[in-house]
Structure 1
């Protein structure tokens, strides 16, 4: 087992999703102790943590839209581990709405998308800032989307939320330096069930129009997140695109 991240503690929001679970495995292989955080499903979070290589892993449930829950989790991590070095924001939510159908993008859906895809990520960083700062080598990795720069995605609000996450990363990269680095990983289409209703036919069409000839896997994104922690140590406030060249079309 590689020990690149030996002694580090990584907290992964959205840890029960495809990207989050793949990231948990990669960071554990690299030597980190990983806290897998689910939104609601404590059993699944615990199952993922139990399958990770190495030892000292944990699981928890916290609502990304409830700052009290996030603050409580930070205190729980402090009590159990005494530190947090890496925070991965892989939580997210969306719903497919045609961009021309303005009426279908209701105020309620807009608010929910902004809460889960922007406010929650900021609140998670805010809750863990003290622990990350105490590390002296803290890292935040936000999972964005090329929708934030192309304006083409599951719905307009989702595109806007991801654009906001891109800007947040730049702002926090400046504000939290030098003790905390903040990076964005921006995938294109990824082979998960993240967007409800998307079929294999959609994935096939996306693969055919992607320069590298396929859609991304959760591990493609996880590999980029791992690189942020292990190799891109002189980078902060920037976005790493992992889309197979899809944005070039």
Structure 2
């Protein structure tokens, strides 16, 4: 439980843009102090922190490649020094590469996608557990992994490596939820569908959501705020008896 008069602290990896930035801003509006990691765009990260502080909460941005254990350790050390607590981790950082069939994928690309999308959340969870688990005299907490509908759909002809990395993240969610269920930590997963974010440009098609929106039962793409609300519900006390669960935010796809 959070001590009286002390705001809970949420860490959002990949918090400088898209779903991560929307989650950071909404978390601040809901009363969280917010730490976020970013990998390259310092100005974007600073803008999110400024919005957090404008909402009356404390913010911190730390440049971190989540696939690097040393950088992840430094991120959590910075959180310890600034806030002295951790209540929720959102494993949101992820990468996507240019659309391609499998036979044309480079080995280095496959390694990098899995390093960030699957191993990165494991490294961050290791550090979070040491701070939140009852086994380590922590007060409990929540971990939310941000997967993708691609884990169910497979993303053929576009990025099966990305889809496979998110499938690994989902299996990790299931196992970790069971491992931590009696230690005060809930572990859940959100599966965004086709969401209007900058990430699609990384796949070489900035307008991808509009191209595929007719395949979505609701007939439209989603907004980052719609995913953020799902993440924060799973992070908070309203989901106190929810662990090992997958929440699709896909418009029915």
TM-score when scaled to structure 1? 0.91
Unaligned segments of structure 1, at least 5 residues: none
Q: Distance in 1 between matches of 2:127 and 2:219?
A: 40
Q: Distance in 2 between matches of 1:131 and 1:189?
A: 34
Could you say which residue in structure 1 is the equivalent of 2:33? 33
User: How far did 1:95 drift?
Assistant: 1.4
Could you say which residue in structure 2 is the equivalent of 1:78? 80
Aligned: 1:242 with 2:249:
yes
1:78-104 Cα deviation digits (max 9, x unpaired): 121110001111101011333xx3331
Q: How does 1:60-209 map to 2 (within 5 A)?
A: 60-98=62-100, 101-133=101-133, 134-152=137-155, 154-178=158-182, 179-195=184-200, 196=202, 197-200=204-207, 202-209=208-215
Three-state SS of the structure 2 residue aligned to 1:216 is: coil
What's the Cα RMSD here?
A: 1.7
Runs of 4+ in 1 over 6 A off after TM superposition: none
Q: Distance in 1 between matches of 2:6 and 2:18?
A: 24
Could you say which residue in structure 2 is the equivalent of 1:211? 217
User: How far did 1:55 drift?
Assistant: 2.2
Q: Distance in 1 between matches of 2:62 and 2:245?
A: 29
Three-state SS of the structure 1 residue aligned to 2:228 is: helix
Q: Distance in 2 between matches of 1:40 and 1:203?
A: 24
Q: Distance in 2 between matches of 1:203 and 1:71?
A: 36
How has the CA–CA distance of structure 1 residues 6 and 208 changed in structure 2, closer, same or farther, with 3 Å as cutoff? farther
1:45-96 Cα deviation digits (max 9, x unpaired): 1221111212222221111111111111111111211100011111010113
Could you say which residue in structure 2 is the equivalent of 1:58? 60
How has the CA–CA distance of structure 1 residues 144 and 6 changed in structure 2, closer, same or farther, with 3 Å as cutoff? farther
Whether the 8 Å contact between 1:145 and 1:185 is mirrored in structure 2 is yes
1:164-201 Cα deviation digits (max 9, x unpaired): 1111000110112231111100011110121222143x
Q: How many residues align?
A: 239
Q: Distance in 2 between matches of 1:135 and 1:235?
A: 19
Aligned: 1:46 with 2:46:
yes
Whether the 8 Å contact between 1:46 and 1:60 is mirrored in structure 2 is no
Aligned: 1:229 with 2:251:
no
User: How far did 1:223 drift?
Assistant: 0.8
TM-score when scaled to structure 2? 0.89
Unaligned segments of structure 2, at least 5 residues: none
Three-state SS of the structure 1 residue aligned to 2:210 is: helix
